[in-house]
Chain A
Amino acid sequence: MKNKLNSLVLSVSKINREHIQVFFIVLSLAMLVLGVGAPEDGGYGSR
Chain B
Amino acid sequence: MILLAALVLGLAVGLGMARLRGQPYQLPDLRHLWLVFLAFLPQFAIFYIPALREQVPDLWAGIFLTASQALLLGFAWLNRKHPGMLVLLVGAAFNFLVMTANGGFMPINPQTASRLVPQEILEGIPVGSRFGLKDILLKPQDTRFEILADRFLPPEWSAYQVAFSLGDVFLAVGVFWLLASQPQNALNQKGF
Residues of A within 8 A of B (CB): 18-19, 21-22, 24-26, 28-47
Contact = CB atoms under 8 A, between A and B. Distances in A.
Contact of A39 (B58, B88, B121, B150): B150
B182 interface: no
Which secondary structure dominates where chain B touches chain A? Answer: helix
B20 interface: no
A29 B88 CA distance: 11
A40 B4 contact: no
A1 B82 CA distance: 44
Contacts, number: 137
A45 B39 contact: no
B133 A40 contact: yes
Interface of B: 1-4, 6-7, 11, 27-28, 30, 33, 36-37, 39-40, 43-44, 53-54, 58, 68-69, 72-73, 75-76, 88, 91-92, 95-96, 99, 106, 108, 113, 116-117, 121, 124-125, 129-135, 137, 150, 160-165, 167-168, 171-172, 175, 178-179, 190, 192
A45 B37 contact: no
Given A25-B28, A28-B37, A46-B132, A36 B73 contact: yes
